[in-house]
Amino acid sequence: FPKYFDGKLLIYDWMRNWMFLVSMDKNGAIMDIEPFMPNTKFNNIMDLAYGPDGKLYMLEYGTQWFKQNFDARLIRIDYNGGNRAPIAALTVNKANGAVPLTVEFDSRGTSDPDSDELTIELFVDGEKYAAKDGKFTVTFDKPGVFTPELRVTDRNGAVSVGRVEIIAGNESPAVAISVLEGNKTFYFPNTPVQYAVAVTDREDGSTEKGTIRPDSVNVTFNFVKGYDMTQIASQGHQKAEAELPGKALIDNSDCKSCHMINQKSAGPAYLQVADKYRDQKDAVSKLADKVIRGGAGVWGTTEMAAHPQISKEDAQKMIEYILSLGKKKTPSLPLKGSVMPGNEQEGAYVITASYGDKGTAKTPRIADVASVALRSPVLKAEQAVSIPGALLAVKHNTTASFERIDLTAVKSVYASVIMGASHMSGEIELRLDKPDGELIGTVKPNSSVRIRETNGVHTLYLMFKNGRAGDKDLFSFTELRLSNR
């Protein structure tokens, strides 16, 4: 390690797996704390020591308590102050399909941190391909699973490798979900949604022709509280079903150091917790308080550490996810039918369909998952396209817009605002596709109004008006609630 590290303290945390480099003055007072290897994942750091060779050695316990952990290890961290290895990136236009399967490989994204000239080669099933532009076309004539390897070498001989998996002889199925009528962006409480699911597969056939059985397709309908709006915007083919938000909070916490889903570790398995508290109405609030305060005695003598940094709201979301693990799986819905959204808010109803094909003697099964998310019919100020901060202090002629909004079946709107100290008011014009576009309604603050019914997807413009206000603030806009009544 370079002299920069001399006299500095390297600290680490077992539970959170971070390391920091601490700079101190001659009296030991802290001058600076900076991250050390923040993008590297460790598994419960037990100890660190500099060896006589000047390199850093680390012991990692592994992810499970009192187990023979396969990810427990002794590692050496070297400082590389010279030539750095290149970074290999490999993408394909198609990862599976029937034979003959022609695949285009692209090394775009491959780079060298030292800006060295690179030699780029592709190896497929023992054969080497070279291309100056880093693009390769390979045809697979026989079925099987292949792992092409992109080998990148810099001028000093440092090598980096990128790999992809190609399945030749089995093409991925295609799952499609259609909302047959009505609004395709939002759900409305107690208003049924008509849907249809279709599956096609080159080898297995299709649901339309009856060669794919309906009971081999899994269709579910779930409400996801706090569903990520960016995920809703990119709805379509997914690799996993929507998760409760508590799962992400748990994944980013230290919970995994003491708990596993289906095995006892230092603490009980999540499934044990879900089973124990299944019928207790106050379980979410009670267990959330325990997460924050800590405690012991319910599952033995091992004490659970307090987590005062976690808010009560986040702790409740974490507990909701844990308790959901013990619920019985909902039977699959039919390929075509109707589902009924409830009165929930601040989330989305998600229709998900999945199908795994049969594979072949030489290729594994391939699955496809599709989803359609119908979000809560509320347009919040933070989702609008506007001048930053403008909706916190709306003035006469302030403009905001919401893009790709399906207005089908929307009959009325309610505008929520927070009135300011100026006691000014005004009204909000609703226009289609441009600031001076067709006027479909005018709503006053904290009130509702019927609008002209409009079909299809539009950009909805909000024009805030009060010609007598001058430069005074009218109010703070918070949300526009859409209704089909």
The per-residue pLDDT for range 304-355, each reduced to its tens digit, is 888 888 888 888 888 988 988 876 666 789 999 999 998 887 788 999 999 9
Q: Is the pLDDT of residue 228 over 70?
A: no
pLDDT in tens, 367-378: 999 999 999 999
Tokens of 189: 């409480």
Q: Write down the pLDDT at residue 183.
A: 95
Average pLDDT over the chain reads 89
Average pLDDT over residues 38-53: 91
Collapsing DSSP to helix, strand or coil, 312 comes out as: helix
Q: Which of 356, 357, 361, 358 has the alpha carbon at shortest distance from 142?
A: 361
In the beta sheet, which residues pair with residue 405? 458
Tell if the pTM clears 0.75, that is, is over it. no
**Buried/exposed 269-300: b ≥16 CB within 10 Å, e otherwise:** bbbbbbebbeeeeebbeebbebbbeeeeeebe
Where is 449: in which H helix or E strand? strand 447-450
pLDDT in tens, 290-309: 999 888 778 877 788 888 88
Band of residue 101 on the pLDDT scale cut at 50, 70, 90: very high
Question: Is 64 in contact with 256 (CB distance < 8 Å)?
Answer: no
Where is 229: in which H helix or E strand? helix 229-233
Cβ of 154: how many Cβ atoms within 10 Å? 20
Average pLDDT over residues 367-391: 90
Sheet strands (E) in 282-411: 336-339, 347-356, 367-375, 378-380, 399-406
Lowest mean pLDDT among 108-117, 146-155, 274-283, 408-417: 274-283
In the chain, % of residues over pLDDT 70: 94
Q: How far apart are CA 434 and CA 341, in angstroms?
A: 32
Query: Which has more pLDDT, 65 or 418?
Result: 418
Q: How far apart are CA 372 and CA 194, in angstroms?
A: 12
Query: Which has more pLDDT, 421 or 16?
Result: 16
Q: How far apart are CA 193 and CA 358, in angstroms?
A: 31
